[in-house]
């Protein structure tokens, strides 16, 4: 039974793309959680939702406009957080609500409200080979950059002031990281949807923090939990004939 299922093309693509997303969101999510930015992914996904709606209205490939909005939103949040006049949580709340409102308005104007569920909840079982290759490429690029800058990112995450004193380019590292996070969010949206991106980013890492000690061990536990969740979800949805 299992071998028969794995021979199905759409299941192979779903599992490959799902595992790639699980690993990427776990790694990026751990940094976000440790930086007390757990809602960052949620805010970016809602901002991207507004960008997707803009793409539909402008007749442009929606994931490109969604990615642009997500990156701009990430940079905007980071910039505003450095302003003492605006609390960090208020910035996230404003962008989250604004992105959702813009998206709903433009989806209504474009006459594509019927298509909204695929963006809200994702469509992992209908991912194409092109989507799978794109996801693998972007996930690979994100993970490669994180591995390359691992020590610097960990240093900034745990002690930003000391990292600044030691001469690390804090601002550049932070801006680079939020761009990586925004790309991870927009890639994940294609599979799990806007409403569940934050769950994939936060829940495995919160669980891992309760079980693991040390950054690397916690990251491995988080990745394991995330992969298990994705694979189990796909398997159960297929077996029970339910939406994944």
Quick check: is 3 in a domain?
no
**CATH code, domain carrying 51:** 1.10.3470.10
The answer to whether 182 and 95 have CB atoms below 8 angstroms apart is no
Instruction: Give the Cα separation of 184 and 67 in Å (integer).
Output: 10
Quick check: is 4 in a domain?
no
Please compute the mean of the pLDDT values over residues 41-52 and round it to a whole number.
84
Residue 115 confidence class, pLDDT cut points 50, 70, 90: low
Quick check: is 57 in a domain?
yes
Instruction: Give the Cα separation of 91 and 77 in Å (integer).
Output: 6
DSSP for residue 114: G
Position 5 scores a pLDDT of: 59
Is residue 151's pLDDT more than 80? yes
Quick check: is 16 in a domain?
yes
Position 133 scores a pLDDT of: 87
Quick check: is 2 in a domain?
no
Instruction: Give the Cα separation of 12 and 239 in Å (integer).
Output: 15
Quick check: is 131 in a domain?
yes
Least confident segment among 5-19, 131-145, 163-177, 204-218: 5-19
Instruction: Give the Cα separation of 45 and 71 in Å (integer).
Output: 10
Quick check: is 144 in a domain?
yes
| Dihedral sign, Cα of residue 96, residue 97, residue 98, residue 101 | positive
Residue 6 confidence class, pLDDT cut points 50, 70, 90: low
- Number of structural domains (the chain) is 1
Position 138 scores a pLDDT of: 87
Position 215 scores a pLDDT of: 87
Q: How many other CB atoms sit within 10 Å of the CB of residue 51? A: 27
Q: What is the pTM of this model?
A: 0.86
Quick check: is 1 in a domain?
no
Q: Give the structural domain span for 73.
A: 9-240
Instruction: Give the Cα separation of 65 and 68 in Å (integer).
Output: 5
């Amino acid at each position: 039974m299992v071998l028969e299922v794995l021979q199905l093309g759409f299941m192979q693509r779903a599992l490959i793309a799902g595992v790639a997303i699980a690993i990427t969101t776990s790694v990026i999510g751990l940094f976000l959680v440790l930086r007390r930015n757990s809602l960052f992914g949620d805010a970016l996904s809602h901002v991207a939702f507004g960008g997707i709606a803009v793409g539909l209205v402008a007749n442009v490939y929606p994931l490109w406009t969604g990615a642009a909005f997500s990156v701009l939103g990430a940079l905007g949040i980071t910039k505003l957080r450095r302003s003492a006049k605006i609390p960090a949580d208020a910035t996230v709340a404003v962008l989250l609500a604004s992105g959702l409102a813009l998206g709903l308005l433009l989806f209504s104007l474009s006459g594509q409200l019927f298509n909204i569920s695929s963006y809200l909840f994702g469509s992992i079982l209908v991912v194409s080979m092109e989507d799978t290759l794109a996801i693998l490429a972007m996930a690979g690029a994100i993970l490669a950059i994180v591995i390359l800058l691992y020590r610097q990112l960990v240093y900034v995450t745990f002690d930003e002031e000391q990292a600044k004193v030691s001469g690390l380019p804090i601002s550049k590292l932070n801006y680079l990281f939020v761009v990586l996070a925004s790309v991870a969010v927009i890639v994940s949206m294609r599979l799990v949807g806007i409403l569940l991106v934050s769950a994939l980013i936060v829940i495995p890492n919160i669980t891992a923090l309760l079980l693991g000690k040390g950054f690397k061990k916690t990251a491995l536990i988080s990745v394991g939990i995330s992969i298990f969740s994705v694979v189990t979800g796909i398997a159960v949805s297929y077996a029970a004939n339910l939406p994944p």
